[in-house]
Amino acid sequence: MTDGAAAAMPYGPSDDTAQRPGAHRDAPSPPTGIEARRFRTILGHFATGVVAVTAIDGETGRPAGLAANSFTSVSLDPALVSFCVAHTSTTWPRIRRAGRFCVNILSAPQLEVCLRLAAKGGDKFAGLDWTESPGGGPVIDGALAWLECTVEAEHVAGDHVIVVARVHHLDRHHDGDPLVFYRGSYGSFTE
């Protein structure tokens, strides 16, 4: 892993816990006794990639998206993947309504895309180039790969919902290095 960028990290072990959806600096400890900031700091040692979950908003006709590092593969037959979405997300209900959506696996040069999709409000896609997957999901230029999905199941889990998604189409897109998220910083992985 190369040096991580010292970027803002709403989903990492930041001291500014107010940045994370649903998190509060003085949030009481959960019944398990594990304090929220400590939970995030320890879990931050698990390096992940970052995906952009995107769809065309049926109401505006514009693409909508959010950044997530909770993505993982689940099943080969049938082809299933999953990610977790905070109940506070205003973008997920719009993506869900769209039916078909895309999971874009972000590349290292797409840090700006990640931060933009992690922001709340505004036209997150202004100035971003994208094309459509076979079913009409936004595939962001520069992504390493994309998967076109529909929601297979949703399971409420604490302050998030675990989304299990069925994969209908998938392909590689651009060559490059992945965007890696580790201990609240962004970096890359070079072979």
Ligand X SMILES: Cc1cc2nc3c(=O)[nH]c(=O)nc-3n(C[C@H](O)[C@H](O)[C@H](O)COP(=O)(O)O)c2cc1C
User: Distance of alpha carbon 137 from its chain centroid, rounded?
Assistant: 15
Size of the site for ligand X (CB under 6 A): 22
* 163 part of the interface to ligand X, by CB under 6 A: no
Minimum distance, C-beta of residue 72 to ligand X, in the bound complex (Å): 10
- Alpha carbon distance 138, 173 (integer Å): 13
> CA-to-CA distance for 112 and 127, rounded, in angstroms?
11
Does position 74 interact with ligand X (CB under 6 A)? The reply is no
Query: Which two tokens mark 182?
Result: 């580790």
Establish if 66 lies at the interface with ligand X (CB under 6 A): yes
Please report how close the Cβ of residue 134 comes to ligand X at its closest, in angstroms. Answer: 25
Q: How far is the CB of 49 from ligand X (least distance, A)?
A: 9
The only residue of 23, 68, 143, 180 in contact with ligand X, by rule CB under 6 A: 68
Q: Which of 81, 147, 181, 188 binds ligand X (CB under 6 A)?
A: 181
Residue 114 engages ligand X in binding (rule: CB under 6 A): yes
Q: Return the residues of window 45-64 that contact ligand X according to CB under 6 A.
A: 50
- HSE-CB of 96 using CA atoms within 13 angstroms: 16
Site for ligand X in 2-41 (CB under 6 A): 10-11, 21
The pair of structure tokens assigned to 76 is: 């080969």
Tokens 């580790």 found at: 182
Q: Does 82 interact with ligand X (rule: CB under 6 A)?
A: no
> Please, which residue, 33 or 121, has the CB nearer to ligand X?
121
Closest by CA to 168, choosing from 142, 144, 149, 190, is 149
- Compute the least distance from the CB of residue 124 to ligand X, in Å: 7
Contact 124, 164 (CB under 8 A): no
Judged by CB under 6 A, does residue 86 bind ligand X? yes
Full DSSP string of 105-161: E-BGGGHHHHHHHHS-SS-TTTT--EEE-TTS-EEETT-SEEEEEEEEEEEEETTEE
What minimum distance in Å lies between the beta carbon of 133 and ligand X? 20
Interface with ligand X (CB under 6 A): 10-11, 21, 50, 66-70, 83-86, 89-92, 114, 117-118, 120, 181
